[in-house]
Structure 1
Amino acid sequence: MTQHVLVYFMTSLILVSAQDVKYLLKGQDIHLMPSISEQPIRFIWQHNKNDVVFFTGTEEDVPSSYKNRTTLDRVSAELTIKNATYEDSGVYLLEMNINNKPDTFHCTIEVIDKVSKPNISCEMSDTKQATLVCSTESKHPHLLKFKWSSPGKEQTGPNLTITDDHVYRCDVSNPLTNETASFTAKDCFLGKRSDALLIIILVCIFILVIVVCCVLYINHQYLKGTETQHDK
Structure 2
Amino acid sequence: MLNVFIRIKGSLSDQVESRMMAALTYLTLFLLTGLCICQNVLERGPAIGAVGGSVWLKTNVSNPHEPYMVLLWSRNLVNVITYVEGELNTTYSHVSLNNITGSLELRDLTLGDAGVYYLDMVPTGSPAEHGKITLQVFEIISNASIIPTPAVTIAHQSSLHLTCEAQGNISSIEWTKDGRHLSLGGRISLQQNNRALVISPVKRADDGLYECLLSNPVSNMTAAYTLAVSYGPLNVTLNGPTEISDSVDATFLCSAESYPPAEFSWTFNGASIDVTGAVYKLINSKVGDSGNYTCTANNSNTGSKVSVTRMLIVYEIISNASIIPTPAIEIAHQSSLHLTCEAQGNISSIEWTKDGRHLSLGGRISLQQNSRVLVIDPVEIADDGLYECHLSNPVSNMTAAYTLVVSYGPLNVAISGPTEISVSDNATFFCSAESYPAAEFSWTFNGAKKDVTDAVYKLINSTVGDSGNYTCTASNPNTRRKFSVTRMLIVNGGLSCFKSGILPGVTLSITMMIVLVF
- Pairwise same-fold verdict (TM > 0.5): yes
CA contact (8 A) 1:71 1:81 kept: yes
1:71 maps to 96
CA drift at 1:28: 1.4
Of the three residues 156, 159, 164, the one matched with 1:134 is: 164
- Counterpart secondary structure, 1:80: strand
Aligned residues: 187
- Counterpart secondary structure, 2:303: helix
CA contact (8 A) 2:230 2:301 kept: no
Tell me how far apart the structure 2 counterparts of residues 170 and 6 of structure 1 sit (CA, whole Å).
58
Tell me how far apart the structure 2 counterparts of residues 2 and 188 of structure 1 sit (CA, whole Å).
79
Cα shift readout 1:132-169 (whole Å, capped 9, x = no counterpart)? 2212122x34x2x1111113741482222343112211
Tell me how far apart the structure 1 counterparts of residues 216 and 209 of structure 2 sit (CA, whole Å).
24
Tell me how far apart the structure 1 counterparts of residues 127 and 173 of structure 2 sit (CA, whole Å).
48
Tell me how far apart the structure 2 counterparts of residues 44 and 152 of structure 1 sit (CA, whole Å).
51
2:380 maps to none
Cα shift readout 1:61-113 (whole Å, capped 9, x = no counterpart)? 223xx1x4332222211222222222111111111123341211222212221
Instruction: Report the CA distance shift for 1:56/1:169 in structure 2 as closer, same or farther (over 3 A).
Output: same
Q: CA RMSD in A?
A: 3.6
- Counterpart secondary structure, 1:197: coil
Show structure 2 runs of 5+ residues with no match: 1-27, 183-189, 232-258, 261-298, 306-518
Of the three residues 130, 140, 145, the one matched with 1:114 is: 140
Return the letter of the residue paired with 2:222. T
Matched, 1:172 2:214: yes
2:5 maps to none
Tell which has more relative contact order, 1 or 2 (C-alpha 8 A, sep 6+). 1
Instruction: Report the CA distance shift for 1:172/1:59 in structure 2 as closer, same or farther (over 3 A).
Output: same
CA contact (8 A) 2:117 2:135 kept: yes
CA drift at 1:30: 2.5
Matched, 1:45 2:73: yes
CA contact (8 A) 1:122 1:188 kept: no
**TM-score normalised over the length of structure 2:** 0.32
Percent identity, please: 21
2:110 maps to 85
**TM-score normalised over the length of structure 1:** 0.66
CA contact (8 A) 2:58 2:103 kept: yes
Tell me how far apart the structure 1 counterparts of residues 167 and 32 of structure 2 sit (CA, whole Å).
45
Instruction: Report the CA distance shift for 1:137/1:82 in structure 2 as closer, same or farther (over 3 A).
Output: closer
Matched, 1:97 2:136: no
Cα shift readout 1:149-190 (whole Å, capped 9, x = no counterpart)? 113741482222343112211211111211112212116776
Instruction: Report the CA distance shift for 1:116/1:90 in structure 2 as closer, same or farther (over 3 A).
Output: same
1:160 maps to 197
- Counterpart secondary structure, 1:104: strand
**1 or 2, which has the higher strand percentage?**
2
CA contact (8 A) 2:119 2:131 kept: yes
1:197 maps to 303
Instruction: Report the CA distance shift for 1:53/1:188 in structure 2 as closer, same or farther (over 3 A).
Output: farther
CA contact (8 A) 1:129 1:161 kept: yes
CA drift at 1:129: 4.3
CA drift at 1:122: 2.2
